[in-house]
Amino acid sequence: MKHLNILFYSFILLLWVPGCSDKALQTPAIIEIIDTDYHFSTQNLLKFSKDNKIEPSSIFEWQNHWVIYCDLNRATKYKLKLETLFPRVIVKLYDTPFYNFNRRQYSNEKPAAKWDHIIMTANMVEDSLKQKEYLEYHRTQKEKWPEISKGFYNANFQQVLVFRNGRQLMLVISIPAGESLDRLNPKTTENNPRVTEWNSIMGNYQEGIEDAPKGTTWVMFSTVKSR
């Protein structure tokens, strides 16, 4: 599949993720579950979600990684429960996004009634100085690189969140339900060369997670619902 540049990020694998939520979460958070010795499965998580009244469309998977996208209060409780029920898995909490593009705040326009979410993960490079530079780019993006927000707006992105836990990143891109990222994404760079420049710079700060396929930076989660 062809490379896609989504403003901050260059990646190889792309999956469109349907129907996770029909509105923005007030305090969004992510739980990641990692099974390192084959003692956890999608069926375990589906049972956990049923017992805890978690919508299946809020659950995502990629190989031996699973994600629950929900509000922070619930995420904290789920993390504790998962660690108790499944002590052999790694459970990571991504509790506060360090970057947040919100279409309503940007334009004061009414957001789409229902959203689809695309979730992906990558690492920052191990260099601590580069990590600080990467975070600073994002902290000052709206002031120093306003073309990036304009690109998100032009592409009809409803929200873009970036979380971190250590050097691992989680990205959530929300688009109107039923839309296609393949169709929307090119609009981010139309008549906007600064976006291309930004993409090139950001590529110096990112690398794939430890078990990502060779040559892949951002790996994509698909919804369990879509199985």
**Residue 35's closest CA among 83, 84, 82, 89?**
89
CA distances from 93 to 67, 68, 164, 167, 181 (A): 10, 10, 9, 13, 27
- Three-state SS string across 69-81, please? EEEHHHHHHHHHH
**Residue 220's closest CA among 6, 74, 43, 70?**
6
Regarding beta strands 168-176 and 65-71, do their DSSP bridges make them parallel or antiparallel, or are they unpaired? unpaired
| Cα three-residue angle 129-130-135, rounded to 5 degrees | 100
pLDDT of residue 181: 86
Q: Is 205 exposed, middle or buried (0-12, 13-18, 19+ CB in 10 A)?
A: buried
Scan for tokens 């739980």, then name that residue: 31
Phi, psi of 131 (to 5 degrees): -60, -45
Tokens of 25: 């979460």
Given a contact cutoff of 8 angstroms between Cβ atoms, the answer to whether 69 and 119 are in contact is yes
**Residue 226's closest CA among 117, 101, 77, 102?**
117
pLDDT of residue 26: 84
DSSP classification of residue 126: S
pLDDT of residue 226: 46
CA distances from 47 to 99, 149, 164 (A): 32, 39, 27
pTM of structure: 0.88
Total residues found in the chain within this entry = 227
Instruction: For residues 182 and 175, give the distance between their C-alpha atoms in angstroms, rounded to a whole number.
Output: 11
pLDDT digits (tens, 9 = 90+) for 167-218: 999 999 999 999 998 899 999 999 999 999 999 999 999 999 999 999 999 9
Report the b/e string of 119-137 with b at 16+ CB within 10 A: bbbbbbeeeeeebeebbeb
Domains of the chain: 4-226 (3.30.70)
**How many Cα atoms sit within 13 Å of 225 on the Cβ side?**
17
pLDDT of residue 13: 39
pLDDT of residue 225: 65
pLDDT of residue 30: 98
pLDDT of residue 25: 78
Q: Render each residue's pLDDT in the chain as its tens digit; 227 residues.
A: 444 455 555 433 333 343 345 456 789 999 999 999 988 999 999 999 999 999 988 999 999 999 999 999 999 999 999 999 999 999 999 999 999 999 999 999 999 999 999 999 999 999 999 999 999 999 999 999 999 999 999 999 999 999 999 999 999 999 999 999 889 999 999 999 999 999 999 999 999 999 999 999 999 999 886 44
